[in-house]
């Protein structure tokens, strides 16, 4: 049986430009994928509120994964039946993988007080203060602050103290992920776990073996990229390619953001068979 590709993509710095969040250069490839009915699944640190708006802007009508794998949101009716272990929330079936945000705010407030002067958490930020450290508009910043499972932190201390903080939080059960701008505190979930769960669901619903292509640019994408059948590392304008640990094909884009996203997917999906895709990816990633 022919394997069917499914694409999982980070948003900021990957499909969306790091500086202005535009995606214009990716539109032709997005349209070509839609014509071929290849799902594009956002797998992002962004919130549900952000992604519901972005899905409409991008024209995506597919499930999406929020807050670094904390939850999968599936539009009701997208699959024939409601998946097991999901709950109804408004227009979505939702699969959650970890504790709510309130748990981690309590941990930060009561158990690691010696570090509190070294960061500013989203829970302490206003719309205006978030806008001052990102290029988000006030409307988008308001959506970014509406988190359900994770607490991003703007780190102000040294690298050495940050590592001490990360180790302490890990001892308290947190999963610590470094994104393009923020250090994310959350539960024992990640983008790979959510991707694998949703891929199995697609395979069951379509009675086909799915083939995962994942694209990302930063440290919080490592688990997803390591778990994918083909990993595409998007060049970042602000940091080096994170180190991966995978024996599967890896591409490194020559361009940042949506231009690199479009370039790599065009290269991959021009080839008709899965074997050729693997060979091409391996050769270019070497």
Active site residues: 10
Residue 20: other Cβ atoms inside 10 A: 10
CA 180 to chain centre: 11
Structure tokens, 67: 């807050």
At CA 144, angle to CA 92 and CA 201, rounded to 5? 30
Burial class of residue 154 (count of CB atoms within 10 Å of its CB; 0-12, 13-18, 19+): middle
């Amino acid at each position: 049986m022919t394997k069917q590709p499914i694409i999982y993509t980070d948003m900021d710095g990957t499909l969306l430009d790091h500086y202005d969040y535009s995606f214009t250069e990716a539109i032709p490839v997005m349209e070509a994928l839609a014509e071929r009915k290849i799902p594009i699944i956002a797998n992002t640190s962004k919130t549900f509120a952000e992604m519901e708006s972005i899905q409409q802007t991008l024209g995506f009508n597919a499930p999406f994964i929020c807050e670094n794998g904390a939850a999968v949101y599936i539009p009701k009716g997208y699959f024939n039946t409601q998946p097991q272990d999901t709950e109804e929330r408004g227009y979505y079936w939702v699969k959650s993988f970890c504790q709510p945000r309130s748990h981690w705010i309590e941990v930060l407030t009561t158990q690691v007080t010696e570090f509190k002067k070294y960061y500013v958490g989203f829970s302490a930020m206003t719309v205006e203060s978030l806008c001052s450290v990102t290029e988000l508009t006030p409307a988008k910043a308001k959506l970014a602050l509406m988190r359900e499972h994770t607490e991003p932190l703007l780190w102000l201390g040294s690298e050495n103290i940050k590592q001490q903080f990360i180790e302490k939080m890990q001892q308290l059960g947190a999963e610590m992920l470094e994104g393009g701008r923020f250090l994310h505190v959350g539960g024992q979930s990640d983008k790979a776990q959510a991707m694998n769960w949703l891929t199995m669901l697609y395979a069951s619903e379509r009675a086909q073996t799915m083939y995962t292509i994942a694209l990302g640019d930063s440290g919080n994408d490592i688990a997803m990229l390591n778990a994918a059948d083909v990993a595409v590392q998007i060049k970042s304008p602000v940091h080096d390619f994170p180190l991966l640990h995978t024996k599967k094909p890896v591409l490194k884009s020559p361009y940042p953001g949506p231009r690199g996203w479009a370039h790599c997917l065009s290269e991959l999906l021009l080839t008709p068979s899965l074997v050729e895709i693997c060979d091409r990816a391996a050769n270019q990633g070497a």
